[in-house]
Amino acid sequence: MSSEQELLAKWRDLLKERQDEVLDFVEFLHVKTVKPQHLYRLQP
Protein backbone atom coordinates (compact mmCIF):
# COMPACT_ATOMS: atom_id res chain seq x y z
CA MET A 1 0.00 0.00 0.00
CA SER A 2 1.43 3.39 -0.95
CA SER A 3 1.63 6.26 1.52
CA GLU A 4 -1.18 7.99 -0.35
CA GLN A 5 -3.45 4.95 -0.10
CA GLU A 6 -2.62 4.48 3.58
CA LEU A 7 -3.35 8.14 4.31
CA LEU A 8 -6.68 7.99 2.50
CA ALA A 9 -7.70 4.76 4.24
CA LYS A 10 -6.99 6.25 7.67
CA TRP A 11 -8.61 9.57 6.76
CA ARG A 12 -11.81 7.81 5.65
CA ASP A 13 -12.08 6.15 9.07
CA LEU A 14 -12.19 9.53 10.82
CA LEU A 15 -15.31 11.44 11.75
CA LYS A 16 -16.22 14.26 9.35
CA GLU A 17 -15.05 16.88 11.87
CA ARG A 18 -11.64 15.21 12.13
CA GLN A 19 -11.40 14.90 8.35
CA ASP A 20 -11.88 18.66 8.13
CA GLU A 21 -9.13 19.20 10.70
CA VAL A 22 -6.78 17.02 8.68
CA LEU A 23 -7.57 18.99 5.52
CA ASP A 24 -6.91 22.25 7.37
CA PHE A 25 -3.57 20.91 8.59
CA VAL A 26 -2.57 19.76 5.11
CA GLU A 27 -3.47 23.18 3.71
CA PHE A 28 -1.35 24.79 6.43
CA LEU A 29 1.62 22.61 5.48
CA HIS A 30 1.06 23.35 1.80
CA VAL A 31 1.02 27.10 2.36
CA LYS A 32 4.05 26.92 4.63
CA THR A 33 6.19 24.80 2.32
CA VAL A 34 4.94 24.81 -1.27
CA LYS A 35 3.63 28.32 -1.83
CA PRO A 36 6.77 30.13 -0.60
CA GLN A 37 8.79 28.12 -3.13
CA HIS A 38 6.44 29.22 -5.91
CA LEU A 39 6.82 32.84 -4.82
CA TYR A 40 10.59 32.48 -4.79
CA ARG A 41 10.57 31.19 -8.37
CA LEU A 42 8.43 34.12 -9.51
CA GLN A 43 10.81 36.74 -8.18
CA PRO A 44 13.39 38.09 -10.68
Render pLDDT for 3-15 as a digit per residue (tens, 0 to 9): 999 999 999 999 9
- Read off the pLDDT band of 16 (50, 70, 90): very high
Q: Give the structural domain span for 30.
A: 3-42
> What whole-number distance in Å separates Cα of residue 42 and Cα of residue 29?
20
List b or e across 10-35, with b for residues whose CB sees 16 or more CB atoms inside 10 angstroms: eeeeeeeeeeeeeeeeeeeeeeeeee
- Read off the pLDDT band of 44 (50, 70, 90): low
Number of domains in the chain: 1
Q: Is the pLDDT of residue 23 over 90?
A: yes
Q: Is the pLDDT of residue 40 over 60?
A: no
